[in-house]
Amino acid sequence: MLRRDVLKSAGSALLAAAASSPAISRPKTLRVLILGGTGFIGPHFVHALTEGGHTVTLFNRGKRDPDAKQGVEQLLGDRNDNLKSLEGRDWDVVVDNSGYTPGQVKLSTDLLRAHSKHYIFISSIAVYADFQNPPIDESHALAPIGDMRQDKLEGDNYGPLKVLCEGVVEKAYGKLANIIRPTYIAGPGDFSDRFTYWPFRMAQGGEMLAPGTPDDPIQFIDVRDLADFVRVSVEKRVTGKFNLCTPPRWATMGKLLEASRRVTGADTKVRWADAKFLIEQKAAEDAMWASQEIPIWAPPVGQSLGHGLVASARAEAKGLKFRPLETTIRETLEWQKGRPADKQKLRSGLTPEREAELLAKLPKA
């Protein structure tokens, strides 16, 4: 099943439920401009906002997912140097999910500040300098800028560039700015496969390598929960800074694998490899981020001590909700099964050969 079909089916069910419930009243229809709106998270934003009855306009280059925006206005341009299609238009809210450099974001805020009342910028928890002294809340120290290129993503400048982008938005919109900092985003449409790898691997059976211990905390956010929070932010004019992630210890590696086992019915045998072993084998690093081979999880030491302990309380107080872990697993696997054959090889996680190599070296319990 294609992503657009999954979203259409889910939307129809929700619309039917809303229509049959007299307790549900729709908020005022708002005009929302999404800078982006394609790729992974954009279509979920479109779905959540149109589900709420809002009028959505997309601005992008028109090169991705042309069939996923039926009935939604699309303005073509390039946020690097061509915003002409946005000139002379007014919107209630701008949702920016494609701003990666401060130059891009300044062009859009300079033009739109006089034509919109609220700006929602999708940033990242990568803005934080480290993950020491958890829980990591929105006041945690930000990544230093240093001497780096500011007009293009390269090397390790993603987090610092997001810091600069946030600053541009706050300078332009002040108290009308909403900065959303997601962690790993999971769910249908996630082409990074960082979350998908774990339930997918569990479903394969056999002997499986798992990192750390069952109690090690991990965090992610289901893309539908992110989209729902964006809708809440649009409708309630939520402003401020918010981490978007599951609460600390809401999920652990053990809970993720056990939930994956229940969903898939697999009889996979899990063997746990401690952080020291994985670092020695260069499958993980004593650093802030998870590795490509061992996604989502990072060694709970040093700079990554609080990697799975980012605070979500501020967003929860404004309406952030979480669907069950099993739901994210089940619906992500359903989406994965419907991908074309050339997309069945995951972009993240251990290859079968690498996993066999590590399992052979792992000391017997």
Percent of the chain whose predicted confidence (pLDDT) is above 90: 80
**Residue 68 pLDDT greater than 60, yes or no:** no
- 159-187 residue pLDDT tens: 999 999 999 999 999 999 999 999 999 99
Amino acid letter, 300: P
**Residue 14 pLDDT greater than 80, yes or no:** no
**Residue 312 pLDDT greater than 80, yes or no:** yes
**Count of residues making up the chain:** 365
Mean pLDDT value across residues 112-135: 96
- Looking at domain 3-356, what is its CATH homologous superfamily? NAD(P)-binding Rossmann-like Domain (3.40.50.720)
The three-point CA angle 215-221-225 to 5° equals 135
The more confidently predicted of residues 281 and 10 is 281
Q: What is the model's pLDDT at position 330?
A: 98
Q: Domain residue spans in the chain?
A: 3-356
**Residue 4 pLDDT greater than 50, yes or no:** no
Mean pLDDT value across residues 92-100: 97
Q: What is the model's pLDDT at position 67?
A: 54
Q: What is the model's pLDDT at position 26?
A: 57
**Residue 278 pLDDT greater than 90, yes or no:** yes
pLDDT band at 18 (very low <50, low <70, confident <90, very high): very low
The three-point CA angle 221-222-227 to 5° equals 100
Residue 145 contacts residue 157 (beta carbons within 8 Å): no
Q: What is the model's pLDDT at position 69?
A: 65
SS3 letters for the chain? Answer: CCHHHHHHHHHHHHHHHHHCCCCCCCCCCCEEEEECCCCCHHHHHHHHHHHCCCEEEEEECCCCCCCCCCCCEEEECECCCECHHHCCCCCCEEEECCCCCHHHHHHHHHHHHHHCCCEEEECCHHHECCCCCCCECCCCCECCCCCCCCCCCCCCCHHHHHHHHHHHHHHHHHHHEEEEEECCEECCCCCCCCCCHHHHHHHHCCEEEEECCCCCEECCEEHHHHHHHHHHHHHHCCCEEEEECCCCCCEEHHHHHHHHHHHHCCCCEEEEECHHHHHHCCCCCCCCCCCCCCCCCCCCCHHHCCCCCECCHHHHHCCCCCCCHHHHHHHHHHHHHCCCHHHCCCCCCCCHHHHHHHHHHCCCC
Percent of the chain whose predicted confidence (pLDDT) is above 70: 91
25 is written with which tokens?
Answer: 């009243």
**Residue 17 pLDDT greater than 80, yes or no:** no
Q: What is the model's pLDDT at position 63?
A: 78
Q: What is the model's pLDDT at position 9?
A: 45
Q: What is the model's pLDDT at position 3?
A: 40
Mean pLDDT value across residues 293-321: 94
Mean pLDDT of the chain, nearest integer: 91
- Contacts (Cβ under 8 Å, ≥6 apart) of 72: 37, 46, 50, 56, 57, 58
Q: What is the model's pLDDT at position 65?
A: 62
Q: What is the spatial distance between Cα 175 and Cα 358, in angstroms, rounded to a whole number? A: 51
pLDDT band at 302 (very low <50, low <70, confident <90, very high): confident
